[in-house]
Structure 1
Amino acid sequence: MKTLTQRLLAATPLALIAACGSTPPSGSASNGEPMVYASSARSASSIANCLENRLPHVHASRDGNTTELSVGSRSDASYLVTLTPNGNGSVIRVTRGTSASNDPPEEELRFDIARCTV
Structure 2
Amino acid sequence: MKTLTQRLLAATPLALIAACGSTPPSGTASNGEPMIYASSARSASSVASCLEGRLPRVHTSRDGNTTELSVGSRTDASYFVTLTPNGHGSVIRVTHGASASNDPPEEELRFDVARCTT
Do the structures match in fold with TM over 0.5?
yes
Q: Give the percent of matched residue pairs that are identical in Structure 1 and Structure 2.
A: 74
Which consecutive residues of structure 2, in runs of 5 or more, have no partner in the other structure?
Answer: none
CA RMSD, Structure 1 to Structure 2 (Å)? 1.7
What number of residue pairs does the alignment pair up? Answer: 117
Aligned to 1:105: 105
TM-score by length of 2: 0.89
Cα distance in 1, alignment partners of residues 78 and 55 from structure 2: 12
Within a 5 Å distance, the mapping from 1:54-65 to structure 2 comes to 54-65=54-65
Deviation per CA, 1:68-94: give whole Å up to 9, x if none: 000001110000000000000000000
Residue 26 of structure 1: aligned partner: 26
SS of aligned partner of 1:84: strand
Asked whether the 8 Å contact 1:68–1:83 carries over to 2, the reply is yes
The residue number in structure 1 matching 2:16 is 15
Name stretches of at least 5 consecutive residues in structure 1 with no aligned partner.
Answer: none
CA contact (8 A) 1:78 1:103 kept: yes
TM-score, length-scaled by structure 1: 0.89
